[in-house]
């Protein structure tokens, strides 16, 4: 029997994207909307989140904005409950929400560590746990947004890098656990990304950030920083039928930066 041709169309599918109010999450949401998906969008900035939802609706798609703090149990539980109540199903979970921290072992404190792990690891674990039955029912899939920081070593992002390494292993473990039930789990790892997320971490002004980004791009083999649409394209590919036999993989979207990472290139400002 001939198999059906692979498709990257999400017509009739329901996709949940966390951290959807800006940056990579916004780009992911808009791409899925253009490809036919109905969307549950999670974020903490209500006005920005609703603006993204309106842009998704402009593509003729249902978009449900859910304001929540996923670092709390109540936040995860409400997102799972409201998504399933509204749509009645879930086909793709994109765990994109995250927080960064520029610090070192000698300069950090446990509050920073707890904040990073609460959102970057615990929230992903909790939300995926809550929605796994719905994904099993649709033979859906999960795409986690990690970072090359999880698999490369440089000074200045200790708890963040640790959290992304944990997320990478979470992908491997859950991919193996859920494969017999028809659910795939994969990771996309951006490299240096042009975003307000990164600018907030550096503390640079717009002019300083533009200069820093231009300098940093010289160390990227393909010559430019990652953009939200680069990550979104890979997420959609992994979530689609075109990747029906792909699970437990970690795909870097970094222009080759992981081959050139050294502390002096990426950390030019003393961490706080």
pLDDT tens-digit readout, 82-97: 999 999 999 999 999 9
Q: Measured between alpha carbons, how far is 166 from 169 in angstroms, rounded to an integer?
A: 5
The residues pairing with 251 across neighbouring beta strands, listed in sequence order, are 188
* pLDDT, position 103: 82
* pLDDT, position 7: 61
* pLDDT, position 136: 98
pLDDT interval class at 261 (50, 70, 90)? low
Query: What mean pLDDT comes out for the span 69-77?
Result: 98
Do the beta carbons of residue 243 and residue 186 sit within 8 Å? yes
Q: Measured between alpha carbons, how far is 37 from 245 in angstroms, rounded to an integer?
A: 21
Instruction: Spell out the domain ranges in the chain.
Output: 14-264
| Pick from 45-49, 160-164, 173-177, 260-264: least confident | 260-264
pLDDT interval class at 216 (50, 70, 90)? confident
Measured N-to-C along each axis, helices 46-57 and 23-34 cross at an angle, to the nearest 10 degrees, of: 20
Question: What is the CATH number assigned to the segment(s) 14-264?
Answer: 3.40.50.720
Q: Measured between alpha carbons, how far is 171 from 138 in angstroms, rounded to an integer?
A: 19
| Interval 9-55: pLDDT, tens | 899 999 999 999 999 999 999 999 999 999 999 999 999 999 999 99
Better pLDDT: 3 or 235: 235
* pLDDT, position 195: 79
Better pLDDT: 108 or 148: 148
Q: Measured between alpha carbons, how far is 150 from 152 in angstroms, rounded to an integer?
A: 6
- Stated as kind and residue range, the H or E segment containing 165 is helix 158-178
246: number of Cβ within 10 Å: 15
Angle at 215 between CA 212 and CA 219, to 5 degrees: 125
Q: Above 80 in pLDDT, residue 202?
A: no
Q: Above 70 in pLDDT, residue 208?
A: yes
Distance of CA 64 to the CA centre of its chain: 18
Angle at 264 between CA 261 and CA 268, to 5 degrees: 120
Cβ neighbours for 53, distance < 8 A, ≥ 6 positions apart = 39, 41, 63, 64, 65
Q: Measured between alpha carbons, how far is 252 from 234 in angstroms, rounded to an integer?
A: 9
Q: Above 50 in pLDDT, residue 272?
A: no
Angle at 171 between CA 169 and CA 174, to 5 degrees: 105
Q: Which amino acids are annotated catalytic? A: 160
Q: What is the mean pLDDT of the chain?
A: 91
* pTM (two decimals): 0.91
Cβ neighbours for 121, distance < 8 A, ≥ 6 positions apart = 163, 166, 167, 170
158: number of Cβ within 10 Å: 22
């Amino acid at each position: 029997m001939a198999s059906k041709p692979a498709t990257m169309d999400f017509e009739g599918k329901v996709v949940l994207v966390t951290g959807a109010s800006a940056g990579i999450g916004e780009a992911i949401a808009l791409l899925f909307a253009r490809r036919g998906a109905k969307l549950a969008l999670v974020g903490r900035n209500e006005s920005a989140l609703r603006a993204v939802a309106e842009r998704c609706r402009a593509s003729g798609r249902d978009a449900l904005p859910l304001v929540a703090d996923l670092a709390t149990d109540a936040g995860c539980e409400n997102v799972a409950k409201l998504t399933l109540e509204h749509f009645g199903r879930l086909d793709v979970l994109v765990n994109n929400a995250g927080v960064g921290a520029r610090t070192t072992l000698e300069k950090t404190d446990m509050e920073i560590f707890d904040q990073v792990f609460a959102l970057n690891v615990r929230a992903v674990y909790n939300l995926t746990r809550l929605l796994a039955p719905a994904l099993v029912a649709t033979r859906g899939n999960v795409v986690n947004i990690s970072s090359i920081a999880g698999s490369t070593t440089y000074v200045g992002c200790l708890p963040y890098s640790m959290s992304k390494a944990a997320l990478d292993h979470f992908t491997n473990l859950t991919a193996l656990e859920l494969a017999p039930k028809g659910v795939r789990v994969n990771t996309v790892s951006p490299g240096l990304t042009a975003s307000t997320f990164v600018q907030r971490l550096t503390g640079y002004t717009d002019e300083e950030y533009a200069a820093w980004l231009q300098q940093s791009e010289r160390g990227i083999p393909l010559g430019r920083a990652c953009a939200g649409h680069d990550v979104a394209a890979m997420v959609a590919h992994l979530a689609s039928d075109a990747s029906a036999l792909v699970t437990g993989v970690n795909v870097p979207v970094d222009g080759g930066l992981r081959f050139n990472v050294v502390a002096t290139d990426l950390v030019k400002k003393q961490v706080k």
